[in-house]
């Protein structure tokens, strides 16, 4: 800071690894997921029953999260069939209900996979951009050498 004092961020940076730039996103996304879950839990018992899942799938936001968590889109099945499959996949303790923790884990796993894929694509693009000769193409040898020499990859 220039005044012989350091901020929390400076102090933290001296002793701990950098903060994950996606940490804030994940916290916000979890808050969003919790709100969706609570909105779908019409009887407020902390569980999503089959009928609550069927009803919740009318909510486009809930449906998007549920579809992402299941890993398929545009399957052409009914809400009832989807709710049944969602229960089969997400009901880990087999009580025929989806608890918050089960919903959270399924939805966050999908989000983390997407973030990982995005990070990998960005890292590959960075390597590609560094080794390409300005014409937007690289040779196989350039790619192999670039990956070998890249400290961040």
pLDDT tens digits, one per residue of 98-145: 999 999 988 888 777 766 677 777 777 777 787 776 777 888 777 777
Top-confidence residue, 90 or 15: 90
| Higher local confidence (pLDDT), 35 or 134 | 35
Q: Is the pTM of this model over 0.85?
A: no
Tens of pLDDT, residues 63-110: 888 887 775 555 678 888 888 988 888 888 999 999 999 999 888 887
Q: Is the pLDDT of residue 60 over 50?
A: yes
With beta carbons less than 8 A apart as the criterion, state whether 66 and 18 touch: no
pLDDT of residue 1: 47
- Indicate the burial class of 69 (C-beta count within 10 angstroms; 0-12, 13-18, 19 or more): buried
86 vs 3, higher pLDDT:
86
Q: Which residue has the higher pLDDT, 52 or 145?
A: 52
pLDDT given at position 2: 59
Residues in the chain: 153
């Amino acid at each position: 800071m220039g005044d012989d004092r350091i901020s929390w961020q400076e102090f933290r940076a001296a002793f701990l690894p950098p903060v994950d730039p996606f940490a804030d996103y994940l916290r916000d996304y979890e808050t969003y997921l919790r709100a969706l879950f609570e909105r779908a839990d019409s009887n407020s018992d902390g569980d999503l029953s089959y009928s609550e899942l069927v009803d919740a799938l009318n909510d486009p936001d809930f449906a998007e999260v549920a579809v992402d968590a299941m890993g398929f889109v545009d399957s052409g099945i009914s809400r009832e069939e989807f709710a049944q499959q969602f229960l089969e996949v997400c009901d880990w303790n087999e009580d025929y209900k989806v608890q918050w923790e089960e919903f959270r884990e399924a939805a966050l796993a999908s989000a983390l996979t997407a973030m990982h894929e995005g990070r990998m694509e960005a890292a590959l693009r960075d390597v590609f951009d560094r080794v390409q000769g300005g014409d937007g193409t690289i040779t196989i040898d350039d790619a192999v050498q670039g990956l070998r020499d890249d400290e961040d990859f």
